[in-house]
Amino acid sequence: MQIRQSSLVRASGAALAAAVDGRAPRVLRAVLLAGSDLAARRIDPVGLQPLAISPSADIELLVSVKPDVVTTATGAASWAALNLLVDAGLRRTRLLALLRAAVVGATVYAADVAVSQAQPPGLVDPTSD
């Protein structure tokens, strides 16, 4: 089995955010999660993405923002929000921080690999030119 670097980056970010326990503010964990998603998308855009808004190319004429920036930003924000919700739910189980991080990291990695393998070959990423 080949290790997917982008899946590993996403899983590491999610595990790290889960491992910091209550010592770090939620905003810091959200930035860590969004950053790991952005880094993973730079490596390989195929993978988990809960929600991404892809506006038409006309938005560039209206607000001078490229559509791929909007898609990437909404994807990273939704990734961070989803992981913060999952983390909040797991914190109520009273699992140790390291055990919680291992569970989150392994689950994210397995899900990301499954999504990337399920995507049909030749499907073009809307954020690439």
Coarse DSSP helix, strand, coil percentages of the chain, rounded to the nearest 5 percent: 70, 0, 30
Torsion of CA 85, 52, 30, 100, to 10 degrees: 40
Contact 13, 42 (CB under 8 A): no
Contact status, residue 54 vs residue 78, Cβ threshold 8 Å: no
Query: What is the pLDDT, as a whole number, of residue 120?
Result: 65
pLDDT tens-digit readout, 29-66: 889 899 999 999 889 888 777 777 666 655 555 555 66
How would residue 102 be classed by pLDDT, with cut points 50, 70 and 90? Answer: very high
